[in-house]
Every structure is written in C-alpha cells, then in structure tokens.
C-alpha cells in the first residue's frame, strides 16, 4: 500500500485529492494538513509520497520541502501548483522536489503520478514542464545540455532518456531488459557524471538535450 500525505492550505483541495486517491486500491491517504502542521504531521504519518502545495500563507512549501529532504529516509515530494508559470518552481527543483503537478491534474494522471513517485520515478505535468525547464536553465545552466550528455556512454544516454520520461528504476529495467541492480548502477553513474543532479533535474536535461520525444497534453507524442 502506498502511503500518501497531502499538504495544502485549502481544505477543499485536500479533500478533493483525498477523494481522488482514495479510489485507488493500492493508495492510502494517511494524513492531510496545512503548511503549519506539515512537519509534525508528515513525521508522524511516515508517508511514502507527499503532495505539497508550493505556496502557502503560514509556512511555504519550499520551507517544508527543504526540511523533509533532511530526513534520514525522506518521502518523495511532488509540488502542487495552481499556475503553469511559478517563480518557485526552479527553487523547488534545486531543493529536491521529485515532481510538479497542477492542482487540476486529471484524476487518472494523479493516481499514476503517485505510483510513479512511490517507485522512485519523477513526474512533470505537461502544463508545468516548460516553466520548470526554463526556470532551471535560467538559474543553473552554465554548460549546454548537449555538452553534458556527451560525457555519457551510449548506454548511459539511453538510461538518461528513460529518466527523461519519468520512469522509475524497475520500469527502466523492464524497458531495457536489464537487471534492476544494473539499472541502479547506471542511474547512479549518470547522475554522478552530470554533476550530482537529482532525477528531475536529469529528466529536464534529457528533455533539453533532445533525448525525450515531445509530449503533448493528454500523453500523445
């Protein structure tokens, strides 16, 4: 069972997400709260995945994210936003967010996203992908994505392309016909060669380097 906590300042949003996720037989929402209670609530609930509002009036999502990432066994955290363009997106990426979702994400997409996060994958809603990529590159990129990718072996570039699709290690292993332990080693090597990026940052770099097929809203390519 995938354990999920929802942190948002609006009770209506929390209730809606709880209702949507409650329809999945393998997902349990173990806690929901506002930003002020987030650290205590999440600490007690020990979820696998946290859906975290990026903007809250009492304690903002970036503060909560940074604190959660210091835990010995931190949950995967996906940031929730109302806007496709948000100046906090790049900062959340640098702080270790595993994904970005719009609050009006389709229910089926939301359930799939939680499963992907629980498996160690990353999620980027099509509505925020460009904003995340643009903000990250504007703030961080000193070398081009193409230059960074040239340091990888062909097999590592294939792994990076699959990271760019948001796949978790078991999914990459299945796609490539490799053992999960081998994929884990490849992923570690790729992230290390790219300067210690996290999976979402690597996914963005893969997209920028042209390794990922263009995705349109609704999942079409």
Indicate the pLDDT class of residue 200, thresholds 50, 70 and 90. confident
Indicate the pLDDT class of residue 214, thresholds 50, 70 and 90. very low
Task: Taking residues 115-129, report their average pLDDT.
Answer: 83
Q: What global pTM score does this model have?
A: 0.72
What is the average pLDDT score of the chain?
Answer: 85
Taking the CA of residue 69 as centre, how many other CA atoms within 13 Å lie in the half-sphere pointing to its CB?
Answer: 17
pLDDT surpassing 90 at residue 76: yes
pLDDT surpassing 90 at residue 212: no
Residues 6+ apart with CB under 8 A from 103: 13, 80, 81, 82
User: Which residue shows structure tokens 């948001």?
Assistant: 166
Indicate the pLDDT class of residue 199, thresholds 50, 70 and 90. confident
Percent of the residues in the chain that have a pLDDT greater than 70, as a whole number: 85
Each residue of 133-181: pLDDT tens digit? 565 555 555 456 777 788 899 999 999 999 988 888 999 999 999 999 9
Using alpha carbons, list the distances in angstroms from residue 126 to 16, 91, 99, 220, 221.
21, 19, 11, 11, 12
Q: Regarding predicted confidence, which is higher, 13 or 86? A: 13
Taking the CA of residue 189 as centre, how many other CA atoms within 13 Å lie in the half-sphere pointing to its CB?
Answer: 15
Each residue of 43-55: pLDDT tens digit? 999 999 999 999 8
In this structure, what are the phi and psi dihedrals at residue 30, rounded to the nearest 5 degrees?
A: -90, -10
Nearest to 91 by CA among 127, 125, 63, 118: 63
Each residue of 53-68: pLDDT tens digit? 998 988 889 999 999 9
């Amino acid at each position: 069972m995938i354990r999920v906590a929802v942190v948002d300042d609006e009770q209506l949003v929390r209730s809606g997400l709880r209702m949507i996720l409650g329809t999945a037989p393998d997902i349990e929402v173990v806690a929901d709260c506002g930003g002020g209670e987030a650290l205590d609530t999440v600490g007690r609930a020990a979820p696998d995945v946290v859906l975290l509002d990026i903007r809250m009036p009492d304690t903002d999502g970036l503060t909560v994210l940074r604190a959660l990432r210091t835990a010995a066994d931190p949950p995967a955290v996906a940031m929730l936003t109302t806007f496709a363009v948000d100046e906090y997106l790049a900062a959340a990426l640098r702080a270790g967010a595993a994904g970005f979702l719009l609050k009006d994400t389709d229910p089926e997409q939301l359930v799939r996203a939680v499963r992907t996060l629980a498996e160690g994958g990353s999620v980027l809603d099509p509505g925020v992908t460009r904003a995340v990529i643009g903000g990250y590159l504007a703030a961080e990129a000193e070398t081009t994505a193409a230059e960074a990718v040239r340091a990888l072996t062909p097999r590592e570039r294939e792994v990076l392309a699959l990271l760019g699709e948001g796949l978790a290690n078991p999914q990459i292993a299945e796609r490539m016909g490799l053992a999960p332990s081998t994929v884990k080693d490849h992923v570690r090597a790729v992230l290390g060669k790219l300067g210690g990026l996290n999976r979402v940052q690597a996914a963005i770099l893969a997209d920028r380097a042209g390794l990922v097929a263009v995705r349109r809203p609704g999942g079409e390519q």
